[in-house]
A = this chain, B = another copy of it.
Amino acid sequence: MPKVTAEHRLARRAQIVAAARTLVAEQGFHKTTMADLIEVSGLSAGAVYGYFKSKEEIVAAIAEEALGTVENLFDDFVDPQQPMSPIDALERLLQHVVSLAERPGGDVTRIALQAWAEALHNPAVMAIAGAKYTDIRGRFELVARRAQAAGILDPDADPRHIAQVLFGLLPGFVLQRLILGDTTPETYTAGLRAVLRG
């Protein structure tokens, strides 16, 4: 056996996940086969199976990546420790979701839609979705608590309920962008600001 560094293994795994993301974004989880994945990844069957033993493991890895997109954005662009109006936080998240979706190599928001449907019938994906979305809502709860402490939001409201609404605005944005095509971070936040001013 040749000596394989951890770095090399991570790069190989990323290469396989990237191939799977492209396939799933194009054709969905159900139509994607291990044979497709081996072909698109450019690796041997043995190499692919060395990282992922079954299609189920690939589906879980791709779902985890797609459902965690907004989680990673919080780390990069939103500091829940700083008071920020919830709408400003949302606007930043929407802009970055779109910029990620438009990257070549598979629209991550298309995969998120697949993962929502898959979660209902696949306990592994449901567990990933539950954990990721609990975490993301927790980030929004921190945004809400900071906004309450800073006097931007009503301090008597339950920050968990505010977090449900802030998080709850994201799926409808993604869905309209994919199905109706006319919804952008600019139009969506303009609508939200109008409702808030109302």
Question: Which residues of A approach B to under 8 Å, CB–CB?
Answer: 27-28, 30-31, 85-86, 110, 113-114, 116-121, 126, 129-130, 133-134, 137, 147, 152-154, 157-158, 160-173, 175-176, 178-180, 183, 187-188, 190-198
Contacts and interface: CB of A to CB of B under 8 A. Distances in A.
Contact of A172 (B114, B118, B167, B183): B167
A162 B189 CA distance: 9
B121 A31 contact: yes
Given A166-B195, A168-B169, A179 B147 contact: no
A72 B158 CA distance: 32
Contacts of A176: 133, 137, 164, 167-168
Count of identical protomers in the assembly: 2
Nearest to A178: B120
Given A133-B179, A179-B119, A195 B198 contact: no
Report whether over half of chain A's contact residues are helix, strand or loop; otherwise say mixed. Answer: helix
A177 to B, nearest CB: 10
Task: Give the most central of A119, A161, A188: most B CB within 10 Å.
Answer: A161
A118 B86 CA distance: 32
A191 B175 contact: no
Contact of A194 (B133, B153, B183): B153
A28 B121 contact: yes
A183 B140 CA distance: 15
Contacts of A30: 30
A154 B113 contact: no
B117 A28 contact: yes
Given A86-B195, A158-B191, A196-B198, 12 more contacts: A28-B120, A28-B121, A120-B178, A126-B179, A134-B180, A147-B198, A153-B198, A157-B194, A162-B194, A164-B191, A165-B191, A165-B192
Nearest to A168: B172
A120 B169 CA distance: 21
